[in-house]
Amino acid sequence: MRGAPTEQGVELYGLTAPPAPLAGLDVSALNGVGWFSWPQSQDLDVRVGGSIRFRFSPKLQSANWNESVDIGANLPGASTQAQLPLLVGTYLAKPVDASGIEALDAVPVSTASAAIAAYNAVERFDADPDFTGACTNTAVIDQGVQLDSADTVDDWPAIDSMATWDSGTAGVATEGEWIGSEVIDLGAVMSCRLTAELASLSWDVTDLVDARPDVDAVPDWDGTISDANAAFYVSVSDDDPLLANWQPWQPFFVGDWRGRAFRFRMVLQSANPLHNVRVTRFRVTLDMPDRLESGEDVPIPAEGCRIDFSQRFHKKPALALTVQNLQPGEFYQTSARDAAGFFMRIVDANGQGVARSIAWIAKGYGAEA
């Protein structure tokens, strides 16, 4: 006998389904480096052809993926360990499959352990709230940069018929950019560390509050838009920025960089003409580590001499000096002190130069690369 047939609907996602989040993430600090480990991804298309992506936020609590910035390059999907610059804040990791689809959720781990070397905030780039710069298919609205409409006012049938002015009749542009007008110039090629603070949001331009029948029933005011995003870039020059000898744009990541001048750019993209993205915070801090240079038993001739540091500091350092075998009435004179060195001369009570030896220590930050 044969029973009655039954039917059951099954929805198959296959390669279009996002990979599962990582099962955990741990970090330990050693010699100024963060050592990260995690269980291998359970998704085959992550382990083969996929990658692990890390982002960083200076927040120790409530950090999220959209407000964080990439740190380091993507790692092979089969990897289970990574070494990254050790910073105070939260690291977030996501697996990305071979099709470029990210996991829906990032796994965070926070650390309050800073690198042993003390860092100094030398320069800051604060784009918000004015976002002064050049816009292409973007607009500065409500103290943020967002994609502009794909058409113009001249293309609209009637002003009064428009549901929203931000997207026009054709929706938002698929891609736009913003290049900041401010440039950081260190005055010389230096090694430095760049960190960033970011904030962005994505939304459906047709989802208006006035159209909500019951605002108390809205489960999530932030929405779940994932196809409208912002990417951040930096361009470096080893020359005076006025010469405009800029290197190609590179994806911004938290880490150590080398250059004299730095400029910054955002690229906004949307795969849906009804989905927009707005960046409301874009701030970059440029740090340099403390550094000491010293000399012992350095001979100073009667006419004096110039002492140059092995590497130029970013700014004129503090200087401590000790003259060996200094006689009553003798004293030392320093002049032409700058970030590269100083001139030293020792004279007697009559103002005549005498030969002596000195020990010196210079403390500052930054090193010319």
pLDDT digits (tens, 9 = 90+) for 180-233: 999 999 999 999 989 888 888 888 988 754 444 444 544 444 455 778 888 899
Beta bridge partner(s), residue 342: 307
Query: Quick one: pLDDT at residue 218?
Result: 43
168 and 88 assigned to the same domain: no
257 and 136 assigned to the same domain: yes
Beta bridge partner(s), residue 110: 90
Query: Quick one: pLDDT at residue 213?
Result: 45
Is 40 inside a domain boundary?
yes
Nearest to 257 by CA among 69, 72, 120: 72
Cα angle, residue 196 at apex, residues 190 and 199 outer, rounded to 5°: 160
Residue ending a domain, among 255, 289, 323, is 289
Query: Quick one: pLDDT at residue 6?
Result: 65
309 and 256 assigned to the same domain: no
Are 43 and 13 spatial neighbours (Cβ–Cβ below 8 Å)?
Answer: no
Gyration radius of the chain's alpha carbons: 29
Is 6 inside a domain boundary?
no
**Domain CATH for 128:** 2.60.120
Nearest to 52 by CA among 8, 114, 108, 94: 94
* Residue 68 structure tokens: 């964080």
Low-confidence ranges of the chain (pLDDT < 50): 116, 209-215, 217-222
Buried b (16+ CB within 10 A) or exposed e, 43-73: bebbbeebbbbbbbbbbeeebebbbbbbbbe
Is 221 inside a domain boundary?
yes
CA distance 151 to 351: 79
Is 357 inside a domain boundary?
yes
Cα angle, residue 257 at apex, residues 253 and 260 outer, rounded to 5°: 130
331 and 354 assigned to the same domain: yes
Is 7 inside a domain boundary?
no
Sign of CA dihedral 308, 313, 319, 322: negative
- DSSP three-state, residue 215: helix
Query: Quick one: pLDDT at residue 71?
Result: 87
Residue ending a domain, among 289, 322, 350, is 289
Beta bridge partner(s), residue 159: none
CA distance 247 to 39: 38
Residue ending a domain, among 98, 116, 134, is 116
72 and 203 assigned to the same domain: no
Q: DSSP code of 325?
A: T
Is 4 inside a domain boundary?
no
258 and 152 assigned to the same domain: yes
Other beta carbons within 10 angstroms of residue 115's beta carbon come to 17
Number of H helices, E strands in the chain: 1, 23
Is 5 inside a domain boundary?
no
Which range marks the domain in which residue 88 is found? 14-116
41 and 131 assigned to the same domain: no
For the chain, the domain total comes to 3
197 and 146 assigned to the same domain: yes
CA distance 298 to 282: 48
312 and 231 assigned to the same domain: no
111 and 180 assigned to the same domain: no
The residue count for the chain? 369
**Domain CATH for 311:** 2.60.40.2080
CA distance 367 to 288: 8
* Residue 259 structure tokens: 């250059």
Nearest to 322 by CA among 362, 295, 360, 356: 360
Is 8 inside a domain boundary?
no
**Domain CATH for 80:** 2.60.40.10
Query: Quick one: pLDDT at residue 5?
Result: 65
Query: Quick one: pLDDT at residue 369?
Result: 77
Cα 191 to the center of its chain, rounded Å: 15
* Residue 254 structure tokens: 């938290």
285 and 295 assigned to the same domain: no
Pairing relationship of beta strands 255-270 and 228-237 according to DSSP bridges: antiparallel
Q: Which residues touch 304 (CB under 8 Å, ≥6 apart)?
A: 333, 343, 344, 345, 346, 353
39 and 97 assigned to the same domain: yes
Single pTM value for the model: 0.74
